[in-house]
């Protein structure tokens, strides 16, 4: 049996951090002592683990030599400040913020590129990538050797929960205001999100690409080990609480064998394929709370056999973030932690 | 001055029909007598026009020789039943249902292919295409000679109003039920649409393509006069009442001149370009109630100069349907009706 491991979760009071703690319990991860850490504002609040309420402490005052594994589920600034301390203390670090440079923290999705783990030495630093990259990598990895991918075009319809609890409250509040014919007062978002779509998520650069969009392109190329893959992505904020959805359009160099694609997806780890005619998975009805990426609407192009279109939906907080990080930890504890 | 023309609107009590009547009034269309027609269930209800409440009559009992122009804003079945009667009576027919075959009723969007009107003889039959085709044609037509289009990939995020009043009520009712923690009872949609996305709109064929998706491909090729253009489209039903949005990814054979694209869109008829850095148009905040297609997030590819990405949003009922039909009528009355 694996020895229990002392663990720190930084950002334990956020939506991802809290789910991560819950998944450690659900999957019976060999946790010794669990330290829940947060930045000043959130420290002090309690998170439930194995029937006890654990109080969160200030990350600033934490001695990282107490743990062997640290999950960074806080924002990039917190990761940049404290990950070096954890590394210096000999901790294995799993970063969910994407703040650490790729050459220092390779992105890994167990269903896509687990072979990267073999190249690491303990204590390792890993990057559990964005929810969008996790979802796409889980689905595209089993197709990579079946379809000679030339181009991937993605519209990512992102749930508000990716922006944290405030965004979730804001969607609920705005919706209630509108249904009660009260004047709308946007706070978290800069405009109406209820019954509306926002064409951009987070800041963008001078070329007009969103930070999240560039991140997805970079991470997906790394996860699929296709550094030159052409990827076009638009992130849209949709009025959905939990569960990201993606339309994915793939162009191949040769005709796509749809039967082989369906078979590969049907048996791929981390994928649940919906094949019933006329049916399709939805974020609320299928994805939320589940450990898989749902795939549906698998179809070829209209008049074009080199084309493949898919619809994906997955729990952005769970499968897209917290679960992937725990899956990485499960692989790491075999020999690296 | 143009002679007043006697007009019939079939499907006058639907969302599109009612907006069409309103636009005839707003634009001071030279209407003589206006006959509002509907199928049995809706006949008898009143629609306001020029300060009077006009009662709708049963289309079944209407004598089409009374009018010179008939808008078919009802469903395909009604159009297939009664358009031949209107044509036989010498009426000019503008079909918004898409039921008539393309060789009998060419699709026209005034901003895209007005030259088709020159080829017609009175009385003409025209097809005012789907809202998605109108939006895309208005924006892609001015780019056609600037960008050598190889492929268009579209995710169409469709408002519930495209499905009629019942769908609008259903989104409101489902949302209220969820916010009040009452059990959800889907009626119009077969599942939860509130705070959810549905990966398919309407029925699909054996290859998995939605009827609307095939229709958009067919219509857009016709409107742009690019019969071999590769088009990939996914229609997604989003929890938005009014206003369709589109992510549009274009691949060209050569590097795209972004400055020229912006300039062309800035001066194109029917287009409103949002260029402010970090800003973008939304269905609720910009498109609804307006006569233009809003375009934003104009950007090149990541590492790929032959790529162009756009975000469009437009009032699906108004610009996408009713207004386009009235614009066609305005062009036709110059010499054809």
> Where do runs of H (alpha helix) occur along B95-185?
131-140, 165-179
B306 in the same domain as B325: no
CB contacts, 8 Å: B308 with chain A:
none
CB atoms within 10 A of CB B47: 20
pLDDT of residue A140: 98
Tell if the CB–CB gap between B311 and A234 is shorter than 8 Å. Answer: yes
CB contacts, 8 Å: A230 with chain B:
301, 303-304, 307
Measured CA to CA in angstroms, residue A161 lies from A292, A323, A324, B224 at distances of: 18, 16, 17, 40
- How far A274 CA lies from chain B's nearest CA (Å)? 12
By C-alpha distance, the chain B residue nearest A280 is B199
B297 in the same domain as B184: yes
Is the separation of the CB atoms in A300 and A256 below 8 Å? Answer: yes
**pLDDT (tens digit, 9 = 90+) per residue, A306-328?**
999 999 999 999 999 999 999 99
User: Which residues between 26 and 65 in chain B have a beta carbon less than 8 angstroms from any beta carbon of chain A?
Assistant: none
Is the separation of the CB atoms in B231 and B128 below 8 Å? Answer: no
**pLDDT (tens digit, 9 = 90+) per residue, A225-256?**
999 999 999 999 999 999 999 999 999 999 99
A308 in the same domain as A172: yes
B160 in the same domain as B280: yes
Instruction: Answer yes or no: is pLDDT of B37 > 90.
Output: yes
Instruction: Tell me whether A202 touches chain B (CB under 8 Å).
Output: no
Instruction: Tell me whether A227 touches chain B (CB under 8 Å).
Output: no
Specify the number of domains making up chain B.
2
Selected residue of B196, B201, B295 to mutate for chain A interface (largest A Cβ count, 10 A): B196
Instruction: Tell me whether B203 touches chain A (CB under 8 Å).
Output: yes
CB contacts, 8 Å: B220 with chain A:
none
> Would you say residue B221 lies in a domain?
yes
Range of the domain at A90: 5-129+321-332
> Would you say residue A300 lies in a domain?
yes
The CA distance from B318 to B315, in Å, is 5
> Crossing angle, helix B323-332 and helix B15-26, to 10 degrees?
50
> Would you say residue B118 lies in a domain?
yes
Tell if the CB–CB gap between A309 and B204 is shorter than 8 Å. Answer: no
- How far A174 CA lies from chain B's nearest CA (Å)? 11
Instruction: Tell me whether A251 touches chain B (CB under 8 Å).
Output: yes
Tokens describing residue B337: 């009706």
pLDDT of residue A1: 52
CB contacts, 8 Å: A237 with chain B:
none
B278 in the same domain as B327: no
Instruction: Tell me whether B202 touches chain A (CB under 8 Å).
Output: no
Question: Domain of A111: which CATH number?
Answer: 3.40.50.720
A242 in the same domain as A208: yes
Instruction: Answer yes or no: is pLDDT of B120 > 80.
Output: yes
Is the separation of the CB atoms in B14 and B165 below 8 Å? Answer: yes
A125 in the same domain as A147: no
What count of CB pairs under 8 Å joins A to B? 170
pLDDT of residue B122: 86
pLDDT of residue A106: 97
SS3 helix, strand, coil % of chain B, rounded to 5? 35, 25, 40
The CA distance from B154 to B247, in Å, is 6
Averaged confidence pLDDT in chain B: 95
By C-alpha distance, the chain A residue nearest B311 is A199
Instruction: Tell me whether A186 touches chain B (CB under 8 Å).
Output: no
- How far A108 CA lies from chain B's nearest CA (Å)? 22
Average pLDDT over residues B117-130: 94
> Would you say residue B141 lies in a domain?
yes
Tokens describing residue B63: 């004598």
Confidence of residue B143 (pLDDT cuts 50, 70, 90): very high
Tell if the CB–CB gap between B232 and A179 is shorter than 8 Å. Answer: no
> Would you say residue B337 lies in a domain?
no
B138 in the same domain as B71: no
Tokens describing residue B64: 């089409």
Instruction: Tell me whether B205 touches chain A (CB under 8 Å).
Output: no
B101 in the same domain as B182: no
Selected residue of B172, B205, B247 to mutate for chain A interface (largest A Cβ count, 10 A): B247
Cα A304 to chain centroid, rounded = 32
pLDDT of residue A277: 86
Q: Which of B45-59, B234-248, B258-272 has the lowest mean pLDDT?
A: B45-59
A117 in the same domain as A19: yes
Instruction: Tell me whether A192 touches chain B (CB under 8 Å).
Output: yes
What ipTM does this complex have? 0.95
Instruction: Tell me whether A80 touches chain B (CB under 8 Å).
Output: no
Is the separation of the CB atoms in A11 and A19 below 8 Å? Answer: no
Instruction: Answer yes or no: is pLDDT of B1 > 60.
Output: no
pLDDT of residue B278: 86
A180 in the same domain as A299: yes
The answer for residues whose C-beta is within 8 angstroms of residue B261's C-beta and 6 or more apart is B143, B146, B147, B298, B308
The CA distance from B6 to A270, in Å, is 62
Instruction: Tell me whether B132 touches chain A (CB under 8 Å).
Output: no
The CA distance from B54 to B282, in Å, is 34
Q: Please name the helix (run of DSSP H) or strand (run of DSSP E) that holds residue A113, with its range, or none.
A: none
By C-alpha distance, the chain B residue nearest A218 is B302
Q: Is A312 exposed, middle or buried (0-12, 13-18, 19+ CB in 10 A)?
A: buried
Instruction: Answer yes or no: is pLDDT of B337 > 70.
Output: no
Instruction: Tell me whether A241 touches chain B (CB under 8 Å).
Output: yes
Of B198, B213, B284, the CB nearest to A282: B198
Of B204, B277, B304, the CB nearest to A230: B304
> Would you say residue A337 lies in a domain?
no
SS3 A149: strand
Instruction: Tell me whether B220 touches chain A (CB under 8 Å).
Output: no
Cα-trace Rg, chain B: 20
pLDDT < 50 regions, chain A? none
Rounded to 5 degrees, φ, ψ at A38 are: -150, 165
The CA distance from A211 to A206, in Å, is 11
Rounded to 5 degrees, φ, ψ at B54 are: -95, 135
By C-alpha distance, the chain A residue nearest B305 is A230
Tell if the CB–CB gap between A280 and B176 is shorter than 8 Å. Answer: no
Q: Please name the helix (run of DSSP H) or strand (run of DSSP E) that holds residue B17, with its range, or none.
A: helix B15-26
Max intra-chain CA distance, chain B = 62
B144 in the same domain as B40: no
> Would you say residue A217 lies in a domain?
yes
Tokens describing residue A235: 């992130």
SS3 helix, strand, coil % of chain A, rounded to 5? 35, 25, 40
Average pLDDT over residues B147-160: 97
- How far A275 CA lies from chain B's nearest CA (Å)? 10
> Would you say residue B305 lies in a domain?
yes
Instruction: Tell me whether B240 touches chain A (CB under 8 Å).
Output: yes
CB contacts, 8 Å: A234 with chain B:
155, 247, 249, 297, 309, 311
């Amino acid at each position: 049996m694996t020895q229990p491991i002392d663990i720190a979760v930084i950002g334990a009071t956020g939506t991802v951090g809290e789910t991560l703690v819950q998944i450690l319990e659900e999957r019976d991860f060999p946790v010794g002592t669990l330290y829940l850490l947060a930045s000043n504002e959130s420290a002090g609040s309690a998170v439930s683990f194995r029937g006890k309420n654990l109080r969160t402490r200030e990350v600033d005052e934490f001695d990282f030599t107490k743990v062997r594994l640290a999950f960074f589920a806080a924002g990039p600034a917190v990761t940049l400040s404290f990950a070096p301390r954890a590394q210096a203390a000999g901790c294995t670090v799993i970063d969910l913020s994407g703040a650490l440079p790729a050459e220092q923290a390779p992105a890994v999705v167990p269903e896509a590129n687990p072979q990267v783990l073999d190249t690491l030495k303990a204590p390792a630093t890993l990057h559990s990538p964005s929810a969008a990259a996790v979802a796409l990598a889980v689905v595209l990895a089993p197709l990579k050797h079946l379809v000679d991918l030339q181009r991937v075009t993605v519209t990512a319809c992102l749930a508000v929960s990716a922006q944290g609890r405030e965004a979730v409250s804001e969607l609920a509040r705005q919706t209630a205001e509108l249904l009660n014919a009260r004047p709308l007062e946007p706070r978290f978002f800069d405009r109406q999100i209820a019954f509306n779509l926002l064409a951009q998520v987070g800041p963008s650069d001078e070329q007009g690409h969103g930070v999240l969009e560039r991140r997805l392109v970079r991470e997906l190329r790394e996860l699929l080990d296709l550094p030159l893959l052409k990827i076009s992505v638009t992130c849209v904020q949709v009025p959905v609480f939990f569960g990201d959805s993606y339309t994915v359009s793939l162009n191949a160099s040769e005709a796509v064998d749809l039967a082989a694609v369906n078979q590969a997806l049907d048996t791929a780890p981390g994928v649940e394929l919906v094949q019933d005619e006329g049916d399709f998975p939805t974020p609320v009805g299928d994805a939320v709370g589940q450990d898989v990426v749902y795939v549906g609407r698998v179809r070829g192009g209209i008049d074009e056999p080199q084309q493949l279109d898919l619809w994906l939906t997955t729990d952005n907080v769970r499968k897209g973030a917290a679960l992937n990080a725990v899956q990485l930890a499960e692989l790491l504890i075999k020999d690296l932690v």
